C-alpha cells in the first residue's frame, strides 16, 4: 500500500507543463553534451546517445498529460508503412534487414514531436529553454576561442584560412557542426534580445555570427543572416526602406570580407580528396547526381531504398555517409513519400505560429523556419526526426515547441 502511494506521488509530481519543460531541458542539454563526451572525453557515440535521448523523451512523455494529434498519427502510420515498402525493390542496401533500428528511431522521434500534444507551454517555460540554448552556445564559443585560439586568430588575420577554419570546431568535432549550433543559439538569443531588451543577448548574437564566420560554414552564415533579416522585416512599417537597409548591410559585409572575389575565394576552397581535390560545393553536386541517377535506374522515386541506405550507397563511392542535404538524404532513403511526410511538420509548425499571440516569438520563428528550410538543402546535420548531430535540438526547437506553445501565460 505504501509503495503504491509513493509511485502515485511520483507520477503526480511528474505531471504538468513544468515537467515537459524539464524533459525538454534534459534533451537540449544532453544533445550538445553528447558531443563533448565523445570528442573531448572519448566516451560514447553521438548516434546512440541521440537514440537514447529520443527514447527518454518518448518514454517520459507517457507519464505526462498529453493527447494524440490525429494528423500526426496518420502521418506516423504512413511513415511506418513507407519504411517497409523498399522490400519490393529487393532491399539493395539491407536497410530493412540490418538497419531497421534507424527507422525505429525516426518513428519514435516523429511520434514524440508530431503526434503528442502536451499541457501548453508558458512564456516563462520558453524563456528558460532559450536561456539554456543561448548559454550552451556561449559556452561553445568561449571554449573554441580559448582552446582553439591559434586557428581563431589565424583566420582573423587571413592566414591560411582554409586550413585553420577546418581546425575550428569547439567540442563538436567538425566546423559545420559547430556552425549549426551557433545558428540554433542565434535563434534563441534573438528571441531573448527582442523579448528582454538585454544587450547581453545582442552580444551573444554577435558572438555566434563571429564563430560562424571563422568556421567558414556558408550555409549557417546565410541562414543566420536570413533569420535576422526576416525577423526584422515582418514587423517593419516601411518594408521597402528596410529592404534597402538590409541589402546595404549585405553589401557592407561583402566589402568587409574582401569583395565578391574574396567571398568566392574564402568559401569555395574547402577540399575533399576523391581521386583529385575538389571543393565541397562540387562534391555535393556529384553526390546528388549519383543519387538521382540511381533512383531513376532502380525505380526508387516513390519509396526509396529504406531508412539508413544513404551511407551504404555513398561510402564505397565517396567515403562519405551523407549527401550533405537533408532533402536528398530523405529522398534516397524513403523516396518522395518520406520527403513529403518529413516536410509536412514544417508546414504544420508554420500554421501553428499564425495563431501564436506572442508576436516576437512568431516573428523569430517564421524567420527560423524559412532559414532552416533553405539550410536543409545544403546540410543534413539538423535534419528533422533523425540521429544527426543536432536533429534533437532542431526538431524540438522548430517543430515540437511551436506546436505546444500558443504564447499565452499559463499558471
pLDDT at position 205: 97
**Three-class SS of 303-348:** CCCCCCHHHHHHHHHHCCCCCCCHHHHHHHHHHHHHHHHHHHHHHH
Tell me what pLDDT residue 17 has. Answer: 59
Residue 198, φ and ψ in degrees, nearest 5: -100, 130
Cell of 274: 576523391
Instruction: List beta partners, residue 276.
Output: 274
> In 37-85, which ranges are continuous DSSP H helix?
46-61, 70-84
pLDDT of residue 6: 45
- Find out whether 172 and 35 touch, Cβ atoms under 8 Å: yes
**Domain boundary assignment for the chain:** 12-403
Torsion angle of alpha carbons 66, 69, 75, 80, nearest 10°? 30
Q: Nearest 5°: phi and psi at 26?
A: -55, -45
Burial (CB < 10 A; 0-12, 13-18, 19+), residue 146, is exposed
Residues in the chain, pLDDT under 70? 1-17, 42-44, 250, 252-279, 408-411
- The overall longest dimension of the chain from CA atoms, in Å, is 76
Q: How far is CA 276 from CA 188, 253, 279, 283, 330, in A?
A: 41, 33, 10, 11, 28
- Position 91 scores a pLDDT of 83
> 211-226, pLDDT tens digit by residue?
999 998 888 998 999 9
pLDDT digits (tens, 9 = 90+) for 303-354: 999 999 999 999 999 888 899 999 999 999 999 999 999 999 999 999 999 8
Give the separation between CA 411 and CA 395, rounded to whole angstroms.
26
pLDDT for residue 272: 41
In DSSP terms, 66 is beta-bridged to: 118
CA distances to 59, 175, 180, 347 from 46, in Å? 20, 16, 15, 29
Q: Tell me, what's the pLDDT at 284?
A: 87
End-to-end distance of the chain based on CA atoms, in angstroms?
Answer: 33
Who's near 308: CB < 8 A, 6+ residues apart? 93, 95, 99, 102, 103, 333
- pLDDT given at position 253: 63
Can you give the pLDDT at residue 397?
97
Report how far residue 92's alpha carbon sits from residue 90's, in angstroms, rounded to the nearest whole number: 5
**The predicted structure's pLDDT at residue 326:** 94
The rounded distance, in Å, linking the Cα atoms of 294 and 332 is 9
Amino acid at each position: 500500500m505504501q509503495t503504491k502511494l509513493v509511485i502515485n506521488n511520483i507520477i503526480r509530481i511528474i505531471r504538468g507543463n513544468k515537467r515537459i519543460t524539464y524533459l525538454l531541458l534534459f534533451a537540449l542539454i544532453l544533445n550538445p553534451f553528447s558531443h563533448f563526451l565523445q570528442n573531448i572525453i572519448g566516451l560514447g557515440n553521438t548516434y546512440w546517445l541521440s537514440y537514447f535521448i529520443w527514447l527518454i523523451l518518448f518514454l517520459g512523455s507517457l507519464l505526462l498529460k498529453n493527447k494524440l494529434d490525429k494528423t500526426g498519427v496518420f502521418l506516423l502510420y504512413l511513415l511506418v508503412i513507407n519504411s517497409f515498402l523498399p522490400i519490393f525493390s529487393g532491399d539493395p542496401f539491407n536497410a530493412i534487414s540490418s538497419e531497421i533500428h534507424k527507422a525505429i528511431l525516426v518513428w519514435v522521434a516523429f511520434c514524440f514531436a508530431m503526434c503528442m500534444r502536451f499541457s501548453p507551454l508558458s512564456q516563462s517555460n520558453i524563456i528558460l529553454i532559450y536561456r539554456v540554448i543561448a548559454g550552451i552556445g556561449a559556452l561553445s564559443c568561449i571554449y573554441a576561442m580559448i582552446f582553439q585560439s591559434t586557428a581563431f586568430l589565424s583566420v582573423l588575420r587571413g592566414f591560411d584560412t582554409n586550413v585553420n577554419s577546418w581546425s575550428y570546431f569547439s567540442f563538436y568535432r567538425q566546423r559545420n557542426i559547430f556552425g549549426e549550433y551557433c545558428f540554433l543559439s542565434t535563434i534563441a538569443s534573438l528571441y531573448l534580445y527582442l523579448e528582454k531588451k538585454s544587450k547581453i543577448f545582442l552580444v551573444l548574437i554577435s558572438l555566434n555570427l563571429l564563430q560562424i564566420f571563422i568556421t567558414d560554414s556558408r550555409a549557417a552564415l546565410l541562414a543566420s543572416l536570413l533569420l535576422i533579416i526576416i525577423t526584422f522585416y515582418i514587423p517593419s512599417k516601411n518594408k521597402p526602406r528596410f529592404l534597402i537597409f538590409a541589402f546595404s548591410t549585405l553589401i557592407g559585409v561583402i566589402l568587409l570580407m574582401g569583395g565578391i572575389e574574396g567571398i568566392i575565394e574564402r568559401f569555395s576552397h574547402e577540399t575533399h580528396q576523391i581521386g583529385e581535390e575538389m571543393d565541397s560545393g562540387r562534391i555535393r553536386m556529384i553526390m546528388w547526381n549519383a543519387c538521382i541517377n540511381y533512383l531513376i535506374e532502380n525505380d526508387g522515386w516513390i519509396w526509396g531504398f529504406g531508412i539508413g541506405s544513404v551511407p551504404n550507397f555513398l561510402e564505397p563511392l565517396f567515403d562519405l555517409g551523407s549527401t550533405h542535404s537533408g532533402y536528398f538524404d530523405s529522398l534516397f532513403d524513403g523516396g518522395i513519400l518520406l520527403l513529403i511526410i518529413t516536410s509536412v511538420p514544417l508546414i504544420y509548425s508554420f500554421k501553428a505560429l499564425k495563431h501564436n499571440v506572442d508576436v516576437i516569438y512568431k516573428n523569430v520563428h517564421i524567420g527560423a523556419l524559412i532559414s532552416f528550410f533553405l539550410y536543409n538543402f545544403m546540410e543534413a546535420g539538423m535534419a528533422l526526426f533523425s540521429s544527426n548531430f543536432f536533429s534533437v535540438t532542431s526538431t524540438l526547437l522548430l517543430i515540437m515547441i511551436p506546436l505546444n506553445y500558443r504564447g499565452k501565460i499559463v499558471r
